[in-house]
Structures are given as C-alpha cells and as structure tokens.
Amino acid sequence: MGQVLFVVWRESVEALLVIGILYAWLRNGDKTARQGLPYLWLGVGLGLLVAVAFGAALVNFSETLSGETQDYFQAAMVWIAAVLIVQMVLWMRYHGGTLKQGIEASLQKSTQNAHWWGVTLLAALAVAREGSETVIFLYGLGFGQAGYILPMHLAAVLIGFGLALLTFYLLQLGGKLFSWRAFFRVTEMMLLFLAAGLVQAGVDKLIDKEILPALIDPLWNTSALLDDSNAVGTLLAALTGYRAYPSLMNVLAYLIYWAVVAWLVRRTQRCLTVKNRPA
C-alpha cells in the first residue's frame, strides 16, 4: 500500500505542476489568454482518458496470458517500471530548471496565433504521460494483476492523490522551509530507491524461474536486526530493495543498479552544465 500511495502522490504532483503552470499563465493573462482555459480542461480530460484506456488495455492483455507466460510478462513489467522511474528522475533533473519557461513560451506562441489546440495538446500530453507511467509503475507493484483492484490499493490511490493536491497547494504558497527544488531532490532519491526495490523484485522472479543463478544463497542474514517479513521490514524491502537474507545475485544486481544510476546522474549533470554554460 505504501508503494502505491507514494507513486500516485509523486506522479500526481508532477502532472499538477504542469497543469498549474498552464492554468496560472492563462488565468492571470489578459482576456485573450483566458479564452484558452476550456481548452486546458479539455486536454486534462483527454489525458485522463488515454491513461485509463492504457491501464485497461494492459490489464486485459495480461489476462489473456497464462501460466509461465504471464509470470514472465509481470516480471518484464517490473523491470520496465524500474527503468521508467530512473528515466523520469533524469528527465526532471535535466529539464526541471527550464520546464516553466518552456511551457510559458509554448503558451505565448499559442496565444499569439490563437492556436488553442496547442494548449489542449500540452495538457493532454502532460496528463497522459504521467498517467501512463503511473499505470506501468502500479502494475509493476502488483496493482490489478489479480484481475481486480484490492480495496487497500484503491484507498492508497485516493490518499496519494489527495496528498498530491495538498503538496501542490503548500508548495504554491511558497515557504522558507521547503521549495520545489528541495521537494524534487528528496523525492528523486525516494524514487531511485523505489526503482532499486523493483529491480530486486525482478531479480527474485528470475531466480525463482531459474533464469538467473542465486550463486550464494543466503549471502548473509540480518533478520535478527530487521526481518523483511514483518510490517516494517516488508515496507523497507518494497521501498528500498532491502533483503534480510539476500543471495549473492541480489547483492550484485543492487550494486550494479546503483553504479549505473550514479553514472547516468553524473552524465546528466555534465550535459546540464554544458547546456547552461554561457555562449
């Protein structure tokens, strides 16, 4: 439940950020700019429809599979979700600083040319992108894989979205204790740990299917300090990839994951430095 809540919260905040920028620019503009508001809400609705349709198609496709094929598909979705989380973090790190300026530049062009369908497209793409990513993340976490949605998962979605609205409102107020930059830096690390947990879950599935060797199993046992089968340990395992008695393959996969992430972050930072360097 904690994973579902966090994913919905973080993804909803990102979508609200884009929609908030669009709404503020149109609402606070002149009479011409305010004419674009209906197109904004149309885009939000279309984006939600795309995300819901994608989720339904994903679940229906999974139900057509059976036996080991479905197990392999679900394992693949876990890995895809982990890759998308890392990609999202890197994208926000690279584009976050200029996201507002880029959106406002597109809006300015739409206003000048009265091409309000551009506003609809911007909103629809923002909501559909975050919504589709959320669908993949949640499916990778087991959401809807049984053919129905558990009440606790549905509650987590509603709570996560409610917290996203509250977070967006508080961040819009501004404050000395937190900012958008601080928020995204903290949640970036949380997302990267969540992706690490998904990688470990994928490795576990492949070991169970004997596609990957466990090598040494277990490599150590820390269940005396924190057992990953109790409530706290299970949550930590899901959110960070912690294992009380991991195999050597689990440890190697975890180290390789963080090495690749560190390299990608450094590479993104170098590209960002070059991008912001004065001509």
pLDDT of 220 > 60? The answer is yes
What is the rounded CA–CA span in Å between residue 117 and residue 242? Answer: 47
**What are the Cα distances from residue 239, in Å, to 8, 14, 29, 136, 221?**
14, 20, 42, 16, 19
Tens digits of per-residue pLDDT, 60-89?
777 777 777 877 887 888 888 888 888 878
Tens digits of per-residue pLDDT, 111-159?
555 566 777 877 887 788 778 878 877 777 666 555 556 677 778 888 8
pLDDT of 248 > 90? The answer is yes
Tens digits of per-residue pLDDT, 174-183?
555 566 677 7
What pLDDT, on a 0 to 100 scale, did the predictor assign at position 255? Answer: 95
From the CB of residue 186, how many other CB atoms can be counted at a distance below 10 Å? 11
Is the pTM here over 0.75, yes or no? Answer: no
What pLDDT, on a 0 to 100 scale, did the predictor assign at position 169? Answer: 77
DSSP per-residue codes, 24-49: HHHHTS-HHHHTTHHHHHHHHHHHHH
What is the rounded CA–CA span in Å between residue 39 and residue 100? Answer: 19
Residue 1: alpha-carbon gap to chain centroid:
15
Mean pLDDT of the chain: 78
Q: Which residue has the tokens 């937190």?
A: 178
What pLDDT, on a 0 to 100 scale, did the predictor assign at position 230? Answer: 77
What pLDDT, on a 0 to 100 scale, did the predictor assign at position 138? Answer: 77
- 146 Cβ contact partners less than 8 Å away, ≥ 6 residues apart: none
What is the rounded CA–CA span in Å between residue 10 and residue 6? Answer: 6
Residue 56 binned pLDDT confidence (cut-offs 50, 70, 90): confident
Tens digits of per-residue pLDDT, 14-36?
777 778 777 777 776 656 667 77
Residue 91 binned pLDDT confidence (cut-offs 50, 70, 90): confident
Cβ density class 104-139: b for 16+ within 10 Å, e for less: eebbeebbeeeebebbbbbbbebbbbbbbbbbbbbb
Structure tokens at 130: 């975050």
**What are the Cα distances from residue 276, in Å, to 21, 57, 58, 97, 273?**
22, 41, 40, 10, 5
Mean pLDDT value of segment 238-250 = 87
What pLDDT, on a 0 to 100 scale, did the predictor assign at position 145? Answer: 58
